[in-house]
Amino acid sequence: MLKYKTARFSILLIIVFSIFSLSNAMAQIKWSVLTTNGSWPGLSDPRAIFIPGDTSHVILGYVTEEGAIASMLFNTKTKHVQQALLQMGTKTENISNPAFVQLPDSSFMAFFQQTHSQNTILCRGKIVNKLLRWQDADTIYSPPGEKKITEEDHTELVPVLLSEEKNKLFLFKQKNNLSITFTTSNDKGKTWSDSKNIFSNKKKRSKNEFIVKYFSDGNSKVHLVFSDSSNPVKPNNIYYTYYSNGAFYRVDGKKICTINQLPFDITKATCLYEAKKSKQAAFPADIVADPTGNPTVAYVKNNESNQASYHYCWYDGKKWKDNLVGIVGSKMEKNNPINGINLSGGITLSPNSKHTLYVSQKTGSAFEIEKRELNTANDTWKTTVITSNSQSSNILPYTIKSVPGSEGTILLWIMKSNYPEGNSFKSAIKLFTDKK
């Protein structure tokens, strides 16, 4: 079993009692600016969760320009915000945003990767008198010999709690797009099991490189959609699997293997995008599932001519249906491209409104946020503009998956003129509540 012990560093609390509220003149859509100094340099999720109650709150994680790991409590009724730093940092030190999970007693945990260490930091928090309170942090130690995290590395952490497995905690982890592992805890994070690899790639000359997105109902299932490569232009496939009650399954419910038989070859999962048809690189961007467990996936295709396209793919219980959302145009311009390419602005799915998503679309000189709704009768998309005439690009849209349907859809995104630009994390984070 992996152990933890308390890490003795202080958590600095900063309280701010107002936020900016702006509106888009074209669509008269209002949003809130939560912070002017916060970014998501990593892909750890959930990067924000919703805490229901008499006064509902959003808890958000991000990294500041100074490299500090930060959290924020946003009161959805009063619009008040409170920032609490989970860990101080230097300008180029922290490169992964924190991820959150809520516990049955309404407390919650934040997970982030500690730079210059192979270990993961776990912070426990709760809301007391409408204020965010964090306790001292704990360390989840990785196996001896695991390579330490450096400024050049990026690590994704995804915590999940499943109520139907006696509130077992799962922590999925990936470093530099390499092997996907998970560890579990049956005692609220006090001790953790040894890590297990989930996938293997037995294709000739293939590496265990993946891009993975997750979604969980918090009850019995964890849905995973993943690419079999992280190469930005080399054609690759996208697969789907889900975990439930100690085993992994295909989309039709056929068992692939138990957790004691891991890892499994990726070709045993359900393939939803085959590269041989379009001969383009494709990567998952988001995933949700409806109440029956049928998944919906958003993904992005790249090609060598610096073009990207957004795609929407859902399983109707018998087969996958795939729709082109739109051509992004040129990918995001930047002076120091990661992996030699530019990135798309981003696409995210609504967890509550069927066939509804949000995209970051190149419009003029900047990327803007748009809402897209699919009419399945004629496969056409209705577009609603959320931002326009922006001086800086609005990118990386993200919907909070734990928001109940009665609250609408809560959308977050960042606004930045030069994202990503090395380890410069300064940007604004905005919030928009979409209620019909």
pLDDT higher than threshold 80 for residue 19: no
Assess contact for 408 and 352: CB atoms under 8 A: yes
pLDDT higher than threshold 80 for residue 54: no
Q: Which of 248-257, 327-336, 346-355 has the lowest mean pLDDT?
A: 327-336
Q: Is 436 exposed, middle or buried (0-12, 13-18, 19+ CB in 10 A)?
A: exposed
Give the number of C-alpha atoms closer than 13 A to the C-alpha of residue 415, restricted to the C-beta side. 19
**Who wins on pLDDT, 246 or 391?**
246
**Domain assignments of the chain as residue spans, ordered by start:** 4-434
pLDDT higher than threshold 60 for residue 258: yes
pLDDT for position 146:
63
Query: ∠ CA(74), CA(68), CA(6), 5° rounding?
Result: 90
Confidence of residue 377 (pLDDT cuts 50, 70, 90): very high
- Global pTM value: 0.90
Q: Is domain 4-434 given the CATH code 3.40.50.300 in the classification?
A: no
Assess contact for 32 and 23: CB atoms under 8 A: no
From CA 214, how far away is CA 242, in angstroms rounded?
9
pLDDT higher than threshold 60 for residue 126: yes
At 72-100, the pLDDT tens digits run: 999 988 889 999 999 887 655 556 799 99
Confidence of residue 24 (pLDDT cuts 50, 70, 90): very low
pLDDT for position 110:
96
Assess contact for 268 and 253: CB atoms under 8 A: no
**Who wins on pLDDT, 41 or 143?**
41
At 361-370, the pLDDT tens digits run: 888 888 899 9
Assess contact for 257 and 265: CB atoms under 8 A: no
**Who wins on pLDDT, 199 or 91?**
199
What percent of the chain lies above the pLDDT cut of 70?
Answer: 79
pLDDT for position 394:
92
Assess contact for 77 and 55: CB atoms under 8 A: yes
Confidence of residue 11 (pLDDT cuts 50, 70, 90): very low
Assess contact for 67 and 43: CB atoms under 8 A: no
pLDDT for position 292:
92
